[in-house]
Copies of this chain bind each other. A is one copy, B any other.
């Protein structure tokens, strides 16, 4: 078993309301960032877990997302990377 560091992105599903993103976009615009068109706010998780290899670590992270970390109705998730610690 090796310790892997798995990075996960969880984002609001496209097309669903993202009030936090809208609020941040408005605040950035007010601060003078006039080029800002849209902001999406999601979560970035780093999970350190023992696994046999990188594929097993990613599979385990996928299962964590469906069982606990992501809301299947409103959120999408993506395993960004799984690298040995």
Of all chain B residues, which has the CB nearest A3? B37
Does residue A69 face the partner (Cβ distance < 8 Å to B)?
yes
Q: Are A44 and B47 in contact (CB under 8 A)?
A: no
Say whether A33 contacts B64, CB under 8 Å.
Answer: yes
Interface size class of A (residues with CB under 8 A): 20 to 34
Shortest C-beta distance, A6 to chain B (Å), equals 10
Contact flags A42-78 to B (C-beta < 8 A → 1, else 0): 1111111111000000001001100111000000000
B39–A42 CB distance below 8 A = no
Q: Specify which of B38, B40, B44, B68 is in contact with A27 (CB 8 Å cutoff).
A: B68
Q: Are B33 and A49 in contact (CB under 8 A)?
A: yes
